[in-house]
Chains A and B, each alone.
Chain A
Amino acid sequence: SQQGEEDPQALSIQEGENATMNCSYKTSINNLQWYRQNSGRGLVHLILIRSNEREKHSGRLRVTLDTSKKSSSLLITASRAADTASYFCATAMNRDDKIIFGKGTRLHILP
């Protein structure tokens, strides 16, 4: 299975601190995507990183990809209360493939 598995399952940090979430997967991939889901709501796409890329930035988000270790990390800098959500990594094995989601990390930003 190419399923991504996030680590940790849950994370609580103080507002202003950085949050790091990790994702591991099992097979080679075309790309890896990170999504955010607020409680009971839809999925918001954050970043897509391709297998030939090592790092991408988008605002306060930084994603790294290590294909040799089959792992990715999502760093949120200077966290805010609005960052409280579940974060999922999702992998696509082939260009035309569906994406497979991990179980997610529940991030809680404490005021």
Chain B
Amino acid sequence: EPEVTQTPSHQVTQMGQEVILRCVPISNHLYFYWYRQILGQKVEFLVSFYNNEISEKSEIFDDQFSVERPDGSNFTLKIRSTKLEDSAMYFCASSEGGGAETQYFGPGTRLLVL
């Protein structure tokens, strides 16, 4: 069964460094998402991406965040200058038909900012 994959599974970085989290969505899906979950808290929406552009972003998704689909398979989240509070699990998701359809989540990248 097709699944969303994410790399790396864990990332440790120093405050102020840039990180790039990578995702490979399910191949025939058209809608892509990033969510994050701070330890012990709920899953929070960051950004949605459709037709090669951001369709919606939350207030969390400020100027230090960016997303890109550099080729036909990868979907990346870049955090330019990490802060301690960016430490969280970051989930990528994809769906065939937007919010009306099931969103399939990857296993997540656990980011720790020191």
Identify 7 residue pairs between A and B in the complex whose beta-carbon atoms are under 8 Å apart, listed by A's number: A41-B108, A45-B104, A50-B100, A96-B48, A98-B48, A101-B42, A104-B42
Residue contact B99 to A99, C-beta cutoff 8 Å:
yes
| Chain B residues touching A, majority SS | strand
Q: Which residue of B lies closest to A4 (CB)?
A: B42
Residue contact B102 to A48, C-beta cutoff 8 Å:
yes
Q: Which B residues between 51 and 104 are near A, CB-CB below 8 angstroms? A: 55-56, 58, 89, 91, 93, 97-104
CA distance A50 to B102 in the complex (A): 11
Contacts of A33 in B (CB 8 A): 102-103
Residue contact B91 to A97, C-beta cutoff 8 Å:
no
Partner of A31, one of B43, B50, B56, B99: B99
Contacts of B99 in A (CB 8 A): 30-31, 92-99
Residue contact B33 to A45, C-beta cutoff 8 Å:
no
Excluding A45-B102, A100-B45, 20 further A-B contacts by CB distance (< 8 Å) are A30-B100, A35-B105, A40-B89, A40-B110, A41-B107, A42-B107, A44-B105, A90-B103, A92-B100, A95-B98, A95-B100, A96-B50, A97-B98, A98-B56, A98-B99, A99-B103, A101-B43, A101-B44, A102-B42, A104-B42
Contacts of B93 in A (CB 8 A): 43
- For residue A62, CB closer than 8 A to chain B, the reply is no
**Number of residue pairs spanning A and B whose beta carbons lie under 8 angstroms apart:** 71
The size of the chain A interface, using a CB distance under 8 A, is 27
Contacts of B101 in A (CB 8 A): 48
CA distance A21 to B85 in the complex (A): 31
- For residue A80, CB closer than 8 A to chain B, the reply is no
Q: Which A residues between 57 and 111 are near B, CB-CB below 8 angstroms? A: 88, 90, 92-104
A50 to chain B, nearest CB (A): 8
A103 to chain B, nearest CB (A): 5
Residue contact B105 to A43, C-beta cutoff 8 Å:
yes
